[in-house]
Amino acid sequence: MALKQISSNKCFGGLQKVFEHDSVELNCKMKFAIYLPPKAETGKCPALYWLSGLTCTEQNFISKSGYHQAASEHGLVVIAPDTSPRGCNIKGEDDSWDFGTGAGFYVDATEDPWKTNYRMYSYVTQELPQLINANFPVDPQRMSVFGHSMGGHGALICALKNPGKYKSVSAFAPICNPVLCPWGKKAFSGYLGLDQGKWKAYDATHLVQSYPDSQLDILIDQGKDDQFLSDGQLLPDNFIAACTEKKIPVVFRLQEGYDHSYYFIATFITDHIRHHAKYLNA
Amino acid sequence: MDLYDSEDRLQIFPEGNTRMRREVVQGLEDDHELGDEFVGENTLRAGVSEYPPYVMKRRESAREQRDWRFGGEATEAEDLSFGGWGSRGQCQDLREAYRYTRGRSSEEYECYVIPEEEDEEEAPDIFCVTCKTPIRACEKVLDEHKGHEVTPLDKALENAKDEIHKNMFKLERQIIEMENFASHLEEVFITVEENFGRQEQNFESHYNEILETLAQKYEEKIQALGEKKKEKLQALYGQLVSCGENLETCKELMETVEEMCHEEKVDFIKDAVIMADSNRLGKFLKTKTDVELSTQPDFEDQNLDFSDVEQLMDSINIIPAPSAPVINPQAPNSATGSSVRVCWSLYSDDTVESYQLSCRPVRDGSPQEDQAAFTVTVKETYCSVTNLVPNTQYEFWVTAQNRAGTSPASECAMYMTAPSPPIIKIKEIRSCEEAALICWESGNLNPVDSYTVELTQAETPEASGVTESVVGIPTCESLVQLQPRQSYTIYVRALNVGGPSARSKPAVVHTTGSYFHLNKDTCHPWLTISEDGYTVVRSERKAAAREQLPSNTQFTRCVAVMGNLIPVQGRHYWEVEVDDCLDYSVGVAFEDVPKQEDLGANCHSWCMRHTCASSRHKYEFLHNKMTPDIRVTVAPRKIGVLLDYENSKLSFFNVDISQHLYTFSCQLHRFVHPCFSLEKPGCLKIHNGISMPLHVADY
C-alpha cells in the first residue's frame, strides 16, 4: 500500500496534501486528500472523515468548503476520499452523473458488474482508516465522520452501522431516506439488486430503528431553498421522525435561503468542525 | 573654657646636661613612656600625678637654656589658644599631630623643624627601639645602646607616622565627643537658667504675697490697737472729768461748811441743821465717790495669729497649680463602637497629681447644655472611655489638679465612636466566576464615612486564607473582583473618623458558576417563587380574567419572572430543569424589556421557547418575533444557558446529553438578566452555581 504524494500545500500553518494509492477494496488507484494541522507535527490528532456528494472528487471539499482554518485551530486531521472507484472500465459507469463514477453511494455492491470495484462502504470504513492510521499521526480511537448530500447519507450510515466507532456525526443536506428517493432507488437497485430488504442496511432512517441506545449527537444542516429537498431526494423529515421516536439526539437546522451548494457548506462548516471537535477533543 | 589649652597638654623639657632630650607629654590620652632615662627611677605612667611640680620647676631652667625652643612652643600654643575649640582648622589638627609626634619620639621631626639642631649634633641614622630614640650608627657600639634593638630610621619613621595617624584619628574622635558634650552642656546650662529663673519668679511672687499679707496684717493690728487706745483714753478722760466735778462739789460743800463755822452759834446751829437736813450734803455724802479705774492701763494680751502666714510660707516650696492641659484631637482608628481613647498633654513644668476628664454626647451636631454627662479621674494623660453609643460624637475636656489647686479646663475636643457593624444582605448577594456583588445595611442610624469589604479565601492547599480588603466604599454595595472556583468568606466594616466598626457577620460566596436571584418585583402575579427562591410555579387555576395594569417592572402579559444577574461582563452559565411537556420560555432580556410583551417578541429579549402540542415538541429560538427553523429530536429535561458577553452570544444546551441546541449572536450593549416564563401550569427549577461544563466551552 504505497502512498504517492500528488500535491502538498501549506494552509493555515498545516499542510493540505493529496495522495494516490492502490486500493485493495476498490481494485483501482484511488486519490484522497488529507489535511494535517500544525498540531500533527508534535502529536497524534483525531481524524475526521469527509464524504463528498454526487459527482465530486477529493478536490471539491478541499478547494470550496473553507474548512481549513477551523480544522487547524481544533487540531483535526481531515481526510476526504473520492466518491467512487475510477477508471475501472465497467460498462455504463460514466453513463449518468448519479450512478457509477462519482456516485458510489458508500455501499458495498453485490451486483455484477459493480461488486468487484464498487465497495465504497468497506473502503471508507475499513481500508482507508487503516491506511491513514498506519501512515499519518492520527489517534485511531478518535474518529468522526461527516458529509454532504450522498456523503451525508454515507456519514449517517457509517455512524449508525458502527455504534461507538465514530465519536460524532454530522451532515449537510444528507440523503436521509434513500430507499424512498429517486437517487437512492436507482443506485441501490443497481449496486444491491432489486431486493429492497437489502437496501435498508444502507438507509439511515431505517438504521435508526435498530440503533442501540448509545450516545451519538447528530447535527444536520439543511438549506431551505435546496431544490433537491423540494424534489424529495433528501427526506430529512423521515429521519427526524425516526430519531424522535428512538430518542436519537438530532439537531436539525433548516437554514433559510440556502441551497445545496458548497456556498451553503462553507457557511456552516465551522459549526460542524466545532461539533466534531467537541467530541473528538473531549 | 578652652579645652585645648596647650600648656596643660604639652610640656617639653630638654635636659641641659644630656645629649638626649627627655620630653614629657602630659595631659594627652595616652602617656607613652618617653625619655627612657627616667624609666629606671621614675615610671611615667605611675608617676604622672606627682610629676607636675617637678615639671614646673624644671621648666624654668628649660626656658633659660633653650629659649628659642620654648619661644617657638609658646607661639604655637598661643595660636592654638586663639583657634579655640570651636573653630579648629585642619592645619591645626596637623600641627597638633606634629607636635604630638615630636613630643613623643621623633627626633627627625625636630630636626626638620629646627635646623639648628644639626649644628649641634651629628644627624642620627638609626633608631634604637629599646630607648625609643634615634642614634647614630656609631653609638650602637657604645655601652648605652649595646645589645639594644635597632631599626633603620626610615622604618622607624614609617611606624611613627602610622602611630601619628592613629592618634590623629583618636583625637578627632575625641574632639567630636567633646564638641557634643560641650553643646550638651550648653543646653543644660540654658535649662538650668530657665528652671532657676522660673523658680526665682515663683519665690518672688510667693514672698511678695507673704509680705503683702504681713503688711496687711500689721495694718489691721495697728489700727485695732489705735482704736483700743482711743477707747481707753476716752473712758479715762470721762472718769477724770466726773472726778473733777465731784471735787468741785466737794470743795463747794467744804467752803459752805467752813463759812458756817465762822457764824454765830445760833446761826451756826440753824444752818448746821439746815445743812444736815438739806439733801445736798446728805446726798453728796451718800454718793459713793467712784475711785475705781474704769479702764486698765495695761495692754490686754492679744494673740497674734500667724497661721495664714505660716501657710503661705509653707506653700512657697509647692509648685503652683497646673495650667490647663492640652487635649489632643482624636487619633485615627483609636475608637471602637463603644469606646474612645482620649489623650491630652500637660505643660512640661506642671506637676499634676490627677486629671479629671469630662464628657458629654453631642446630638444634632450641637453640644447640649454645658453639663458633663460624666467625669472620671485618672492619673495618666489618657483614658479609654467605655460604654458609649456607636457612631456618636462626644465632647471631651480635661482639667489637671495638684495640691495647689485645679487648672482651668482644656479646650473641648470632639471624639467619635466607631460605627456599629453593617449587616450583609446575604439573600441579595450575586456572584459569578470573576466577581461578587455584595450589598449590606449600614447598621447605623447616622451616616458613616465609608465601608470596607474584607475577603478571606477559604483555606485550600493553594490559598492560605489571606485577607484582602476593599476600602473607601461610599455606598452600601460593592462589586469585588474574585478568583474563579473559590470560596470566600466576606465581612463588611463601617468606618468613620473614630475608626472601623467590628466585622459584620460573615457571608460566604462561591465563585463556581453564577448566582442570581429572582426579582419578585418583576414576577407575574400568577407565578409563585418557592421558599428557596429557585423554583417557579404556575398553579392549576382558572386564568384570572382581571386585566393587569401595564407596568414597567412587572410582567403583565407573559407569565414570567426576571432574575438579577450580577452586572459583570464575561461568561455566565445556569441551568433550568423543565418538564418535557411543559410550555416554557427561558432566555435573557434587558431590564427595561416591555413587560406586556412575550419574551422574544421584541429586540430586547432572546429566548428558547418550547411548546408541546399532541406530543409534538416545538422549539423556537425567538428574538424580535423571529426564530430559525430548528428541530430537536430529544426533548431536553435540563437546559443549559450560556450567556457570553465577550463573544456576544447566547447559547442553549441539552445538559443531559451535552447537546448544543442553538446559539444567538446578540448585540449585548447593556447588561441582560435571565428570564423564565411558564405558558402553562407547571414548574421549572433554576440551578445556580454550576461550573460551566467542558462541552459548552467552545460555543
Residue of B nearest to A216 (CA): B657
Nearest neighbour of B659 by CB, restricted to A217, A240, A274? A217
3-state secondary structure chain A: CCCEEEEEEEECCEEEEEEEEEECCCCEEEEEEEEECHHHHCCCEEEEEEECCCCCCHHHHHHHCCCHHHHHHHCCEEEEECCCCCCCCCCCCCCECCEECCECCCCECCCCCCCCCCEHHHHHHHHHHHHHHHHCCEEEEEEEEEEECHHHHHHHHHHHHCCCCCCCEEEECCCCCHHHCHHHHHHHHHHHCCCHHHHHHHCHHHHHHCCCCCCCCEEEEEECCCHHHHCCCCCHHHHHHHHHHHCCCEEEEEECCCCCCHHHHHHHHHHHHHHHHHHHCC
B552: pLDDT strictly greater than 60 = yes
How far apart (Å, rounded) are the C-alpha atoms in residues B54 and B44?
12
Instruction: Kindly state whether residue B395 falls inside one of the protein's structural domains.
Output: yes
Which pLDDT value is given to residue A61? 96
pLDDT of residue B63: 46
Among B19-23, B191-195, B530-534, the range scoring the smallest mean pLDDT is B19-23
The answer to the question of residue B311 being in a domain is no
Q: Are B438 and B453 in contact, with CB atoms under 8 Å apart?
A: yes
CATH 3.40.50.1820 fits A4-281, yes or no: yes
Which residue among A224, A248, A282 places its CB closest to the CB of B629?
A224
Whether B294 is in a domain gets the answer no
Interface contact B637, partner A, CB < 8 A: no
Closest partner residue to A247 (CB to CB) among B629, B634, B694 is: B634
Res B28 pLDDT > 60: no
CA B271 to chain centre: 115
* pLDDT > 80? residue B77: no
Number of domains in chain B: 5
Q: Active-site residue A230, yes or no? A: no
For residue B96, name the pLDDT band (cuts at 50, 70, 90).
low
Q: How many CB atoms lie within 10 A of CB A177?
A: 23
**Residue in A245, A273, A249, A76 with CA at minimum distance from that of residue B653:** A249
Q: B661 CB near a chain A CB, below 8 Å? A: yes
Between B157 and B134, the more confident residue is: B157
**Is A226 annotated in the active site?**
yes
Do B437 and B404 belong to one domain? no
According to the 3-state scheme, what is the secondary structure of B114-169?
CCHHHHHCCCCCEEECCCCEEECHHHHHCHHHCCCCEEEHHHHHHHHHHHHHHHHH
Same domain as B689, residue B548: yes
Please check whether residues B266 and B350 belong to one and the same domain. no
Option in A250, A253, A255 nearest B633 (CB): A250
Q: Domain boundaries in chain A?
A: 4-281
* Residue B154 domain-assigned (yes or no): no
Contacts of A243 in chain B (CB under 8 A): 633
| Residue B365 scores a pLDDT above 70 | no
pLDDT value of residue B606: 95
Interchain proximity A251–B695, CB inside 8 Å: no
Are residues B330 and B367 both part of a single domain?
Answer: yes
Average pLDDT of the segment spanning B38-48: 43
- In the prediction, which pLDDT does B460 show? 62
Residue B289 at interface with chain A, using a CB cutoff of 8 Å: no
Asked if the model's pLDDT at residue B93 lies above 60, the reply is no
Contact status of B627 with chain A (Cβ, < 8 Å):
no
Phi, psi of A139 (to 5 degrees): -90, 110
Q: Residue B14: is its pLDDT beyond 50?
A: no
State the catalytic residue, choosing from A23, A149, A168, A170: A149
Q: Provide the mean pLDDT of chain B.
A: 78
Rounded to the nearest angstrom, the minimum Cα separation between A63 and chain B is 26
Q: Which of B629, B633, B658 sits opposite A243 (nearest CB)?
A: B633
Q: Which of B352-361, B596-605, B650-659 has the lowest average pLDDT?
A: B352-361
Range of the domain at B25: 6-148
Q: How sure is the predictor about B142, in pLDDT bands with cuts at 50, 70 and 90?
A: low
Q: Are residues B586 and B558 in the same domain?
A: yes
Within this chain, do residues B427 and B558 fall inside the same structural domain, yes or no?
A: no
Catalytic residue among A68, A74, A206, A260: A260
Q: Domain for residue B307, yes or no?
A: no
Interface mutation target, options B608, B615, B629, B633, chain A, most CBs of A under 10 Å: B633
ipTM of the complex as predicted: 0.89
pLDDT at B245: 87
Give the end of a domain, one of B464, B490, B510.
B510
Which of A82, A203, A221, A226 does the annotation list as catalytic?
Answer: A226
With respect to residue B298, please indicate whether it lies within any of the assigned structural domains.
no
> CATH number for the domain including B385?
2.60.40.10
Please report which confidence band the pLDDT of residue B51 belongs to, taking 50, 70 and 90 as the band edges.
Answer: very low
| The predicted structure's pLDDT at residue B296 | 72
The nearest alpha carbon in chain A to B630 belongs to: A253
Range of lowest pLDDT (A108-112, A248-252, B222-226, B455-459)? B455-459
- Contact criterion met (CB < 8 Å) for B629 and A275: no
pTM score, two decimals? 0.65
CB contact under 8 A, A217 and B661: no
In this prediction, residue A8 carries a pLDDT of: 96
- Per-residue pLDDT, B85: 47
Report the range of poorest mean pLDDT among B168-182, B287-301, B581-595, B649-663. B287-301
CA B597 from centre of chain: 65
Q: Is A7 a catalytic residue?
A: no
pLDDT at A60: 95
**What's residue A144's pLDDT?**
96
Q: Is B658 on the interface with A (CB under 8 A)?
A: yes
Average pLDDT over residues B26-44: 44
B662 contacts on A by Cβ (under 8 Å): 251
For position B678, what pLDDT does the model report? Answer: 93
Mean pLDDT of B510-534: 90
CB contact under 8 A, B654 and A274: no
B187 pLDDT band (50/70/90 cuts)? confident
- Out of B459-473, B491-505, B584-598, least confident range: B459-473
Query: Are residues B476 and B553 both part of a single domain?
Result: no
Shared domain check, B665 and B548: yes
B462 inside domain: yes
Q: Within this chain, do residues B675 and B534 fall inside the same structural domain, yes or no?
A: yes
Instruction: Name residues of chain A where pLDDT drops below 50.
Output: none
User: Does residue B616 sit within a domain?
Assistant: yes
pLDDT band at B152; cut points 50, 70, 90: confident
Angle between helices B265-277 and B279-286 (to 10 degrees): 60
One domain for residues B536 and B678: yes
pLDDT computed for residue B631 by the predictor: 93
Same domain, B277 and B377: no
Tens digits of per-residue pLDDT, B101-134?
Answer: 444 444 444 444 444 444 455 677 777 777 777 7
Does residue B555 sit in the same domain as residue B655?
yes
For chain B, percent of residues with pLDDT exceeding 90: 25
